[in-house]
Amino acid sequence: MNETEIIITPIGIVHSEFKLRYETPRQGILADENKSVIELFPKHNFQQALKGLEGFDRIWVLYQFHLNKNWKPQVNPPRHTRKKIGVFASRAPYRPNQIGMSCVKLEKIDGLKIYISGSDILDGSPVIDI
């Protein structure tokens, strides 16, 4: 199998209180009081794609770690102070394809805006999928 380039077009953007990488909680569940908004782009009929989503308590959000320019094969995660582990065994953002995944609480949907809480996603992060 050959390496293949994959082109992914963002479907929206995250608006959150976390402007800098060090401000984000290690996990969104540790900051369940924070509020964020996913704003879907007005194309591709995303309004219809949201149908039925309001019935869920939690949703998975795939997004890009847009501020990370380099990946690291090993990282020092919290609570493993001197022991490096592979990035695939961690939640570290230094991933080869800059893809993040977070389970967040769905608060409400209003048009193309999805209101969430318990997010650990940086402001301005492009949303890849829900």
User: What one-character-per-residue DSSP string does the chain give?
Assistant: -----------EEEE-S--SGGGS-SSGGGGTT-EEEEEE-S-TTHHHHTTTGGG-SEEEEEEE-TT--S--SEE--TT-TT--EEGGGS--S--TT-EEEEEEEEEEEETTEEEEES--PPTTPEEEE-
What's the rounded Cα separation, in Å, for the pair 113 and 121? 16
Domain encompassing residue 89? 12-129
**Could you tell me the two tokens for 83?**
């022991």
Separation of CA 52 from chain center: 21
Query: Whole-model pTM?
Result: 0.85
The answer to whether residues 126 and 17 touch, using CB atoms and an 8 Å cutoff, is no
How many structural domains are present in the chain?
1
Output the domain CATH number for residue 25: 2.40.30.70
User: 44-72, pLDDT tens digit by residue?
Assistant: 899 999 999 999 999 999 999 888 888 88
Mean pLDDT, rounded, for 98-103:
92
Predicted confidence at residue 24, as pLDDT, reads: 60
User: 111-129, pLDDT tens digit by residue?
Assistant: 999 999 998 899 999 999 9
